[in-house]
Structure 1
């Protein structure tokens, strides 16, 4: 990548914005009314808008569950809580509106951040290659409207997670190796992207990744036998929401 943020994430956001702009233009010139699609388009927009709280809640729950034995970052719990609050206000439960709960939620978020800022995020924010310890074994990265190109050199990688929100990383494992025969990498791309380069003897498996208007493409070729190298397996899982990534060697 020539710029800190991933081309995949920029393209995804650009396509979404162009699609929305196109729909708005067609609606304003009266095309939908002319062909009788006004009600249908309005229904689809309302359905999409009303489904946002459920998508956020499910994404948060999925994030927590996929954390496995590792402690889920506080951001995952806050995402789940935020979605649940939106659902509560949407259904009118307990007579509470979203406005009644937004102030307490902001205060709770600030309190969590003051007590333990490192636990609020799944990893360091917008890590650059200069900030990265080349021998680091556990991968914990978070990109928000930014990112970077990262080169790992550790021969004892243990896996981890990468989250990209309106940003992305280009991660190069070409000169690295995993500690055992396999490791798991959780990728959470929300309108963001991740590009990963792996050694030729790594086989990539996608396991249980939730993809909503996005996805991960595996363009690798397992060459362990040809190169007479020990085979290794990278298990990729996570969430792709209007974003995704590409893995190659």
Structure 2
């Protein structure tokens, strides 16, 4: 009985602290809005800047910051991202072809947040699965990270998945198999770092959405007869390839 009472007291105190914190954040936002309005009336802030500060884009950012600090970090980040993109577009302008990719990407992002926010399994558990058999690698990292070193005399590729997580794979002691060798990497809000021999020829054929790979290698040492093709998708993620 005493334990249950202590738990109830703890939950009550935690809820009270969250409520106080939310009120504090909201109060600071209101004070800042009033101060900016006062500065505008005093002529300190010019009209063009005032219109940007009190725009609907900035309102999204403020709501996002409030959500980020109070209860919903995922949706807070989404609102900040959307408001930030439209605010930058309002100030500097973006070409039309940018929005052809940006809007679908934002829709995909919202869908991903909805999926992971509603899934208790993915939101509470970290998953890291590794398998290496017959010179093929299988690596899965979901809300987790992993680090592995591979040894093989006939490496043929494999598959790597990183969702809100990452993996570091050391292939520096690996010898490629003859023929076509493909490594499929899927990164969604995650990343993968590969360390490969300096003479490997890395060909990247991945589809990137607000992400990609960074090559940290000396191209002068590459042997075209030792080629590893990297395929897959990078959405709001990516990684690096180094030697």
Task: Give TM-score scaled by structure 1 length.
Answer: 0.50
- Residues 1:192 and 2:208 aligned together: no
Structure 1 56/46 Cα, relative in aligned 2: closer, same or farther at 3 Å?
closer
Residue of 171, 175, 178 corresponding to 1:177: 175
Q: Using the alignment, how far apart are the partners of 1:157 and 1:182 within structure 2?
A: 11
Task: Choose between structure 1 and 2 for higher RCO, CA contacts under 8 A separated by at least 6 residues.
Answer: 1
Structure 2's unaligned 5+ residue stretches are 1-25, 41-49, 62-78, 84-102, 122-126
Contact 2:192 2:238 in 1 (8 A): yes
Give the superposition deviation at 1:221: 2.4
Question: Greater strand share, 1 or 2?
Answer: 2
Q: Counterparts of 1:47-62 in structure 2 under 5 Å?
A: 48=82, 54-55=107-108
SS of residue matched to 1:238: strand
> Where in structure 1 are there 5+ consecutive unaligned residues?
1-23, 58-81, 87-97, 111-124
RMSD between superposed Cα atoms in Å? 4.0
User: Max radius of gyration: which structure?
Assistant: 2
Assess, with a 3 A threshold, how the Cα gap between structure 1 residues 187 and 40 changes in structure 2: closer, same or farther: same
CA contact (8 A) 1:127 1:147 kept: no
What is the TM-score normalised by the length of structure 2? 0.51
Greater helix fraction, Structure 1 or Structure 2? 2
CA distance in 1, matches of 2:172, 2:27: 46
Contact 2:187 2:233 (C-alpha < 8 Å) held by counterparts: yes
* 1:129-208 correspondence runs (5 A): 132-133=131-132, 136-208=134-206
Deviation at 1:154, TM superposition (A): 1.5
Q: Give how far 1:54 is off.
A: 4.0
Within the alignment, does 1:39 sit opposite 2:50 as a pair? no
Alpha-carbon distance in 2 for matches of 1:236, 1:54: 26
SS state at 1:155 partner: strand
Describe how 1:1-249 pairs up with structure 2 within 5 A: 29-30=32-33, 35-37=50-52, 38-42=55-59, 45=79, 48=82, 54-55=107-108, 125-127=127-129, 132-133=131-132, 136-212=134-210, 214-222=211-219, 223-224=221-222, 231-249=225-243
Cα distance per residue 1:36-71 (max 9 Å; x no partner): 2321335784994985684269xxxxxxxxxxxxxx
Once the two structures are TM-superposed, the CA of residue 161 in structure 1 deviates from its matched residue by 1.7
